[in-house]
Amino acid sequence: MSLDTGSHLLFGFTMAGLSYLDPAVSGDPTLAQVVMVGTVVGSNAPDFDSVVRLKGYSAYIRYHRGITHSIPAWFIWPAVIGVPLAAGYQVWDHFWTLYGWILLSVLFHVILDLFNTYGVQIARPFVKKWFHLDILAIFEPFLFVVHLGGLWLWYQGADPRQVFGWVYAITVGYIAVRAWHHHRVIDRVLRETGVEGVCHVLPTFHWFHWLFVVETEDGYYTGRVSGRSVQVEDFYPKAQEHSAIQASMKTDGVRAFLSFAQWVHVTCRELQDGYEVIWSDVRFWYDKKLPFGVNVRLDKKGNVVWQRLGWRKRLWDPPFV
């Protein structure tokens, strides 16, 4: 189980605790049980699209956090989950209560995905653009501890209405503070580096450590913010012209990559028997490396002989997205 999946599972249980603020739920043990099942499933439902990884990584890149996180899916998931539960537990009189709490769990999942760096195609089917606010890490230890602590208090007999009212108030407050801090860091990076461009600041697991990418007309400046220190580390040019680069764009891996990547850096190097084209997404830079992208090898005639899409790092190495 990934850190991301574990968080969503935990939030499903705490959303069930929050539902006790609804008198219909707190006054009916059967409905409370059904709502818990619904919120736990609903909190993870948008990520059911992970099954497409069985078709290959290019399919995963195209579809993960896509249509299952889209506006129509927000309302479809509660129906898909809620109807069988209402039928199985015979709680049709409270169907819309059940539907509403499942909807909240789905929306909370999508909102958290929107706030991290990987992003989400939240506006499908209207536009296929990826949206990411870059405010939260894929796993937030503070939020995990707060929600886990809330579950422990509930297990010890505390009133879930008070416990989870505070848990979610703290959650909203924490996200607001992180958003404010993120905005301040962007201003600081632009001011202290003197680079003119569009600045993107990316979170880490540490509250006061951020990575940044400043996009200019010619390329991308990368660097890090550690406390009061702002340091530029590298520059990656945007454009490189070569016939092998054009030929590599015909591959499924590159097409899938370009449908997802936002800050693209591409290089071409000549080999003894052909060329290697390396496409990278600067968004996921770390430690002077670009660990995510697609590598394509071609022969001297421009025919593709090998390609690989994915991470160029070990599973336990950063960045974690």
The model's pLDDT over 220-250, given as tens digits with 9 standing for 90+, comes to 999 999 998 999 999 999 878 899 999 999 9
CB 146 within 8 A of CB 171: yes
Domain residue spans of the chain: 3-139, 239-311
pTM above 0.85, yes or no: yes
pLDDT band at 2 (very low <50, low <70, confident <90, very high): low
Rg (CA), the chain: 23
Q: In terms of DSSP H, where are the helices of the chain?
A: 3-18, 23-26, 29-44, 57-63, 71-89, 95-115, 141-155, 160-193, 243-248, 252-260
Q: What is the pLDDT of residue 5?
A: 84
Q: Is the pLDDT of residue 129 over 60?
A: yes
Element (H, E) at 267: strand 264-271
Cis (ω within 30 of 0) for the bond into 203?
no
Q: Which residue's entry shows tokens 């209402």?
A: 86
When pLDDT is averaged across residues 76-101 and rounded to a whole number, the result is 97
The model's pLDDT over 137-162, given as tens digits with 9 standing for 90+, comes to 999 999 999 999 999 999 999 999 99
